[in-house]
């Protein structure tokens, strides 16, 4: 017996035509179920009642881990090349149906022996898809237990080095980690609400959907482009501190290159392909292709290691349409990629810990809280656990550890900083991967002390796509509202850092001279010189999350003392221009700066989104 189990948000089917003349009439010709474990099941010629008993035991174990009690039993003969005769399959199906129901499950039967059309939406967590091969007692060695060993094991690792098996999520104190475990390990869906950043990215005139492009491709308005470029500048500074060399490589690659075809095969349909004559080109879904080709042609000595490269990497992945949610998941995104080529796992872990610390500091500076998730091949766990504990101790956070039974990817270890949004969905931000396979696969070698050519280890890393970092920043700001705080962007990232509002038209020239002085000092300042009431212009500045609002009238013009409203704490106070400059500079020290990307006078500024 073979069972392909899919933890599903929804399944719908409709009976069409009879496939087997003796198939019983269906009780229902159309049905739809939500939040179920769907069991696509094929009965084989050698199955008997012991197969049914083993299947029930296996389903109980899986359902318990997923926290589900409602099943859909869907006959699916295509899973096997040795199908049982129809009458035997019908008897086994009926027996399995009854046995599962007797165990306490709610089981929905699907007609056997009929052609059906169906739709299914499967959850995206690690246990959502699993294949079970079940043999009768005494039949060969391919048993349920052998298949079950392929399932990951999950533990929570604490900064003191202690562990606890993941047997639920309610007991986890870290609020972000609790939701990540619930979503990823147990497949419990988020609230279903639309994340707040989708509304905010339009209202703040940062980013919007592009109806003339493909889904998951966005337009960036001038102020959104400014924010995006500042984050890219920050990524470059991280790479520069690491000592990475910046490169640039093509977006298109030939699928007849064996190494690229092999990597693309892992993504299956998740890539854009362009037929071109006798070959097919692929839009890159990661920055590895060009870099690895470049490194393959290099002469690398052990003295050069570690050797790091940085690229701001436009990337494309053909994600499922329903998975594309605002800036959380896109088909076109910008990855600040760093790759470090090192001699071995020990040197790789030294670089790994540096990146972990850098990205923790970066997210802390962005006021983004996160959960830590490590995924590691179990045979590497004991060796690398001390380093993982050091990293967790440094940030003071526990982590979800997924222990993989064997190598499934090119990496033996990776981690993700995961952000939780207002809809209780989660998205991966920065990641580091310890790649122990691609060096040899791509023909990248270094010459050791003895003159021998050796493959190394590659540390893949990114602070996260620029777009997803914008998502995390906006969602963090939205979550602050629920705590009774004013949402805001970090001051260094705010498109306008100071808005000067003249009380009357008589004060406009003074306001413009003040804004000029601020801009020449490296502070983005604009002037709301529109013919609106003072109260409305102040409300508009609040609505656009301007960190500092300066109202100037006759008194300010005569005394040089400015009336300032500070957003983060609501403080209203007076200060001189140099005092204001000093305060803002202290908050933005060490961060990238770019000038205004819109006209300084709001009266000359276009409206991109209107009243949305």
Nearest to 271 by CA among 259, 261, 279: 261
491-604 maps to which CATH number?
A: 3.40.50.800
Q: What whole-number percentage of the chain has pLDDT above 90? A: 70
Inform me whether the pLDDT recorded for 143 exceeds 60: no
Rounded mean pLDDT, 27-48: 91
Confidence of residue 149 (pLDDT cuts 50, 70, 90): very low
Angle of CA points 141, 145, 150, to nearest 5°: 110
278 or 314, which is more confident = 314
Kindly list the distances between the CA atom of residue 483 and the CA atoms of 229, 374, 597, in Å, as whole numbers in the listed order: 30, 29, 32
Q: How far does CA 30 lie from the centroid of its chain?
A: 36
Is the CA virtual torsion 166, 167, 171, 177 positive or negative? positive
Q: What confidence tier does 355 reach under pLDDT thresholds 50, 70, 90?
A: very high
Q: Which one is predicted more confidently, 376 or 366? A: 376
Least confident range from 82-91, 213-222, 352-361, 580-589: namely: 82-91
Question: Does 610 have pLDDT greater than 70?
Answer: no
**Lowest-confidence segment of 123-132, 374-383, 404-413 by average pLDDT:** 123-132
Q: What is the pLDDT of residues 82-132, one digit of tens each?
A: 888 888 899 999 999 999 999 999 999 999 999 899 999 988 776 788 888
* pLDDT beyond 60 at 451: yes
189-193, 232-236, 259-263: least confident range: 189-193
Which pLDDT value is given to residue 138? Answer: 59
CA angle 540, 543, 548 (to 5 degrees): 80
Angle between the N-to-C axes of helices 222-242 and 466-482, in degrees from 0 to 180, rounded to the nearest 10: 110
In this model, does residue 139 exceed pLDDT 60?
no
CATH number of 153-246+290-474: 3.30.930.10
Q: How many CA atoms lie within 13 A of 414 on its CB side?
A: 21
Q: What percent of the chain has a predicted confidence (pLDDT) above 70?
A: 95
CA 143 – CA 531 distance, rounded (Å)? 78
Least confident piece of the model among 281-285, 507-511, 575-579, 590-594: 281-285
Q: Which helix (H) or strand (E) holds 430?
A: strand 426-435
Q: Which residues of 4-38 are buried (b: 16+ CB within 10 A; e: fewer)?
A: bbbbbbebebebeeeeeeeeeebeeeebebeebbb
140 Cβ contact list (under 8 Å, min separation 6): none
Q: Which CATH fold would you assign to the domain 2-148? A: 3.50.80
The listed range with the strongest mean pLDDT (15-29, 52-66, 73-87, 151-165) is 151-165
Mean pLDDT of 175-200: 87
Instruction: Please indicate whether residue 365 or residue 348 has the higher confidence score (pLDDT).
Output: 348
Closest of 149, 185, 180 to residue 167, by C-alpha: 185
Average pLDDT over residues 330-354: 95
- Ordered by start, the domain boundaries in the chain are 2-148, 153-246+290-474, 250-286, 491-604
User: pLDDT digit string (tens) for 150-166?
Assistant: 688 999 999 999 999 99
Q: Which residue has the tokens 């990497």?
A: 313
Is beta strand 399-404 parallel, antiparallel or unpaired with respect to 371-377?
Answer: parallel
In this prediction, residue 270 carries a pLDDT of 75
pLDDT for residue 468 is more than 50: yes
């Amino acid at each position: 017996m073979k069972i392909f189990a899919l933890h599903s948000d929804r399944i719908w089917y409709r009976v069409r035509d009879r496939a087997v003349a003796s198939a019983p009439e269906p009780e229902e010709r159309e049905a739809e179920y939500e939040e179920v474990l769907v069991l696509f099941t094929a009965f084989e010629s050698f199955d008997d009642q012991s197969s049914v008993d083993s299947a029930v035991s296996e389903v109980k174990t899986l359902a318990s881990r997923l926290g589900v009690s409602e099943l859909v039993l869907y006959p699916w003969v295509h899973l096997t090349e040795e199908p049982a005769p129809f009458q035997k399959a019908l008897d086994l199906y009926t027996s399995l149906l009854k046995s599962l129901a007797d165990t306490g499950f709610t089981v929905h039967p699907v007609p056997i022996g009929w052609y059906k059309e169906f739709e299914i939406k499967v959850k995206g967590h690690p246990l959502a898809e699993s294949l079970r091969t079940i043999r009768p007692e005494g039949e060969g060695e391919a048993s349920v237990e052998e298949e079950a060993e392929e399932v990951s094991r999950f533990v929570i690792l604490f900064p003191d080095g202690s562990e606890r098996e993941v047997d639920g999520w309610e007991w986890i104190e870290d609020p972000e980690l609790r939701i990540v475990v619930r979503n990823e390990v147990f497949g419990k869906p988020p609230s279903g609400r639309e994340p707040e950043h989708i509304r905010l990215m339009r209202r703040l005139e940062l980013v919007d959907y592009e109806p003339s492009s493909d889904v998951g491709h966005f337009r960036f308005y001038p102020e959104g482009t400014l924010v995006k470029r500042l984050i890219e500048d920050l990524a470059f500074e991280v790479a520069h501190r690491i000592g990475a060399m910046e490169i640039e490589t093509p977006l298109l690659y030939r699928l007849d290159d064996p190494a690229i075809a092999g990597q693309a095969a892992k993504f299956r349909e998740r890539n854009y392909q362009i037929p071109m004559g006798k070959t097919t080109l692929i839009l890159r879904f990661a920055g590895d292709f060009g870099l690895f080709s470049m490194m393959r042609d290099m002469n690398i000595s052990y003295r050069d290691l570690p050797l790091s490269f940085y690229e701001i990497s436009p990337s494309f992945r053909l994600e499922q349409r329903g998975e594309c949610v605002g800036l959380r998941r896109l088909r076109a995104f910008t990855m600040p990629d760093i790759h470090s080529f090192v001699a071995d796992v020990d040197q790789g872990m030294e670089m790994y810990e540096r990146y972990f610390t850098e990205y923790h500091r970066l997210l802390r500076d962005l006021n983004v809280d996160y959960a830590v998730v490590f995924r590691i091949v179990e045979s590497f766990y004991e060796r690398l656990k001390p380093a993982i504990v050091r990293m967790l101790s440094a940030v003071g956070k526990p982590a979800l550890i997924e222990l993989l039974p064997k190598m499934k990817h090119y990496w033996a270890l990776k981690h993700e900083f995961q952000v939780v949004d207002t809809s209780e969905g989660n998205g991966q931000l920065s990641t580091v991967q310890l790649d122990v396979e691609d060096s040899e696969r791509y023909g990248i070698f270094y010459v050791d002390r003895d003159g021998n050519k050796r493959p190394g280890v590659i540390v893949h890393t990114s602070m996260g796509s620029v777009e997803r970092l914008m998502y995390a920043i906006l969602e963090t700001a939205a979550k602050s509202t629920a705590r009774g705080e004013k949402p805001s962007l970090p001051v260094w990232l705010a498109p306008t850092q100071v808005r000067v509002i003249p009380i009357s038209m008589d004060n406009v020239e003074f306001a413009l001279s003040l804004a000029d002085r601020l801009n020449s000092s490296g502070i983005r300042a604009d002037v709301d010189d529109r013919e609106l009431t003072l109260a409305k212009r102040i409300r508009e500045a609040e609505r656009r999350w301007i960190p500092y609002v300066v109202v100037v009238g006759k008194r300010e013009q005569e005394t040089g003392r400015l009336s300032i409203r500070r957003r983060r704490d609501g403080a209203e106070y007076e200060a001189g221009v140099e005092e204001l400059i000093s305060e803002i500079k202290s908050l933005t020290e060490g961060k990238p700066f770019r000038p205004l990307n819109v006209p300084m006078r709001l009266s000359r500024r276009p409206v991109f989104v209107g009243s949305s």
